């Protein structure tokens, strides 16, 4: 939740949005109070005044965290950070870096799920992702409330990972959903 709030601040707390563009779990440290701190702003970029994105942005970032539109069209905007944040959420849930996890599992999960016009395909993927949850999180078993919270968390991660930036939530929406999830715990 604190990490999401950091990105909300970068995206809306300045006259021009700042896109971090180098999402990776290795770019966060925990302080003595276990509050995450964001590191390495060397690749962060401000969106030019009057623009909604950076065009012809150099493609860089951690494999599995870079948004498809950044790779294919060299376009960079806030939704690219949302995509990378979704990768971070999946890593927190599964205990695997996204490139490892998706290399081995997620492409097959998506392929096996029937894509329809509604969110049922997301629910199918989420149910399968829950099977890959880090055993440390599961412990001695899942209580129904915990399973429901994990499903909400996984569904949010999958929405952040949408192939189209237009279909991804904003970081404000992501932070709100994480706050609601935290308060329901």
- Residue in this structure with the two tokens 């960079």, named with its chain if needed: 76
What's the pLDDT tens digit per position in 3-60? Answer: 999 999 999 999 999 999 988 888 999 999 988 899 999 999 999 999 999 999 988 8
Instruction: Indicate if the pLDDT at residue 114 is higher than 50.
Output: no
DSSP letter at 117 equals S
* Cα Rg, the chain, nearest whole Å: 16
Instruction: Indicate if the pLDDT at residue 84 is higher than 60.
Output: yes
Instruction: Indicate if the pLDDT at residue 126 is higher than 70.
Output: no
Q: What is the mean pLDDT of residues 105-133?
A: 55
pLDDT, residue 10, reads 97
pLDDT, residue 103, reads 43
At 74, list the tokens.
């060299």
Which candidate, 81, 80, 84, 89, places its Cα nearest to that of 64? 84
Helical spans, DSSP H, in the chain: 2-12, 68-73, 78-94, 98-101, 107-112, 120-130, 135-138, 144-160, 171-184
pLDDT, residue 93, reads 81
d(CA 54, CA 181): 33
Q: What is the mean pLDDT of residues 71-98?
A: 89
Which candidate, 5, 53, 51, places its Cα nearest to that of 21? 53
Q: What is the mean pLDDT of residues 106-121?
A: 49
Fold of 2-184: Transferase(Phosphotransferase); domain 1 (1.10.510)
Q: What is the mean pLDDT of residues 153-177?
A: 94
Say how many Å lie between the first and final Cα of the chain, rounded: 13
Average pLDDT of the chain is: 82
For 76, list phi and psi in degrees, rounded to 5: -130, 125
At residue 143 the predicted structure's pLDDT band, cuts being 50, 70 and 90, is low
Instruction: Indicate if the pLDDT at residue 68 is higher than 50.
Output: yes
Asked if residues 90 and 109 have their Cβ atoms less than 8 Å apart, the reply is no
Map out the domains of the chain as residue ranges. 2-184
């Amino acid at each position: 939740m604190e990490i999401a709030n950091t990105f909300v601040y970068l995206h809306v707390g300045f006259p021009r949005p700042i896109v971090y563009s180098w999402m990776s779990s290795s770019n966060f440290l925990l302080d003595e109070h276990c509050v995450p701190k964001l590191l390495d702003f060397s690749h962060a970029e401000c969106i030019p005044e009057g623009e909604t994105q950076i065009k012809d942005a150099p493609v860089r970032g951690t494999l599995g965290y870079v948004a498809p539109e950044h790779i294919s069209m060299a376009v960079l905007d806030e939704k690219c950070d949302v995509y990378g944040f979704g990768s971070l959420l999946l890593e927190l849930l599964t205990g695997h870096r996204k490139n490892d996890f998706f290399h081995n599992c997620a492409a097959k999960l998506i392929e096996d799920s029937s894509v329809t016009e509604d969110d049922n395909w997301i629910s199918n993927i989420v149910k399968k992702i829950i099977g890959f949850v880090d055993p440390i999180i599961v412990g001695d078993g899942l209580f129904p409330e915990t399973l429901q919270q994990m499903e909400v968390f996984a569904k949010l991660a999958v929405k952040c990972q949408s192939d189209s930036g237009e279909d991804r939530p904003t970081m404000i929406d992501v932070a709100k959903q994480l706050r609601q999830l935290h308060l329901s715990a």
